[in-house]
Amino acid sequence: MALEDAKTQVDQAFTRQSLRGLSHENAFGGAVSFLRRRYSKDLSGVDLAVTGVPFDQAVTHRTGPRFGPRALREASTLQPYDPPYGWGYDPLSTLSVVDYGDLAFDYAKTAAFPGALTEHIRGILAAGAGSITLGGDHFITLPILRAYAEKFGPLSVIHFDAHSDLWQDDDPDRIDHGTFMYKAVREGLVDVSRSLQIGIRTECDDYLGMPYIDARTVHEKGATWVVEQAKSAVGDHPVYITFDIDALDPAFAPGTGTPVWGGLASWQAAAILRDLAGINLIGGDVVEVSPPFDPTGATAVAGAHVAMELIALYGWTRR
């Protein structure tokens, strides 16, 4: 069946009729959308909108994540042939998923960017859909959380990262990917008593009460233990997952702006994400994929798999 479909399926980003189902379009051809979903701004009947935010003007070191959404879409063309391994169900046939395209913004008016992104996500949520966002640097999570907290109240956040992003920053006009979590906590968007950071391996002076599991502890105690801690922390509270690709060791994800050695292996991230099945996931993002620093494309492949796992997590409680 797959071979027959491959002979006829092409440009499913525009031609697919159903919002559900696998795709067997040749991975190396056709118009590129995330997981070969249909590009659409119509959210009628949509469960989940995948959207790109090509913004990297908040980085502290190497630029490049503005090209992340494009690279993640291209890398994802290898995935929609089969259900994601290990889940026991097919989220692409269970959920109505669209590629909502990218956020439009004026790159020369950086100060207007946060409000534009919050409004973009607010529109998705108002339509009754959830969002999975392809970044972009990690600052983008702050405007996204503002939209989610408007609807759901203070959120549980599971934050995969090498950095806590809790650097002190009380200037509301600063746009910095290293301070997004500090501002999110200070603004009351995040319930730190029901949240967890995973993979941390850089210093932080003040975690503001945010629990964390550093990368060495993940290695020593294992994925199963980490999942137990995460599920205990978030309970049945609405959860947002933000996954900075530098949570992975640079051996697995060199294409990022601030790589730090000693990080998670791909298999550890996969095991943790899959075993989180059952949490009340309401949205998520993958950020800091910087294609210019990875000519192999391995970082984008890892990021596309993370996004697929987020979709599977979102669908698990909605089957």
Predicted pLDDT of residue 3: 63
Q: 79-96, pLDDT tens digit by residue?
A: 999 999 999 999 999 999
Q: Is 291 helix (H, G, I), strand (E, B) or coil?
A: helix
Sign of CA dihedral 57, 292, 284, 205: negative
Is 244 labelled as part of a ligand binding site? yes
**Reported CATH class of domain 2-316:** alpha beta
- Closest by CA to 258, choosing from 244, 272, 277, 270, is 244
Q: Is 15 helix (H, G, I), strand (E, B) or coil?
A: helix
Is 237 labelled as part of a ligand binding site? no
CB distance 36 to 17 below 8 Å: no
Secondary structure letter of residue 78 according to DSSP: G
Q: Report CA 139 to chain centroid distance, whole Å.
A: 13
Is 120 labelled as part of a ligand binding site? no
Predicted pLDDT of residue 5: 81
Identity of the amino acid at 199: G
pLDDT in tens, the chain (319 residues): 566 788 899 999 999 999 999 999 999 999 999 999 999 999 999 999 999 999 999 999 999 999 999 999 999 999 999 999 999 999 999 999 999 999 999 999 999 999 999 999 999 999 999 999 999 999 999 999 999 999 999 999 999 999 999 999 999 999 999 999 999 999 999 999 999 999 999 999 999 999 999 999 999 999 999 999 999 999 999 999 999 999 999 999 999 999 999 999 999 999 999 999 999 999 999 999 999 999 999 999 999 999 999 999 999 999 9
CB distance 313 to 273 below 8 Å: yes
Is 138 labelled as part of a ligand binding site? yes
What pTM does this model have?
0.98
Predicted pLDDT of residue 1: 54
Mean pLDDT taken over the chain: 97
The answer for residues whose C-beta is within 8 angstroms of residue 52's C-beta and 6 or more apart is 68, 69, 70, 72, 73, 101, 102, 103, 133, 134, 135, 136
CB distance 211 to 252 below 8 Å: no
Question: What's the length of the chain?
Answer: 319
Element (H, E) at 196: strand 196-200
Q: 94-146, pLDDT tens digit by residue?
A: 999 999 999 999 999 999 999 999 999 999 999 999 999 999 999 999 999 99
| Residue-range domain boundaries for the chain | 2-316
List the beta bridge partners of residue 146. Answer: none
Predicted pLDDT of residue 182: 98
Is 163 labelled as part of a ligand binding site? yes
Burial class of residue 3, CB neighbours in 10 A (0-12, 13-18, 19+): exposed
Is 47 labelled as part of a ligand binding site? no
CB distance 84 to 313 below 8 Å: no
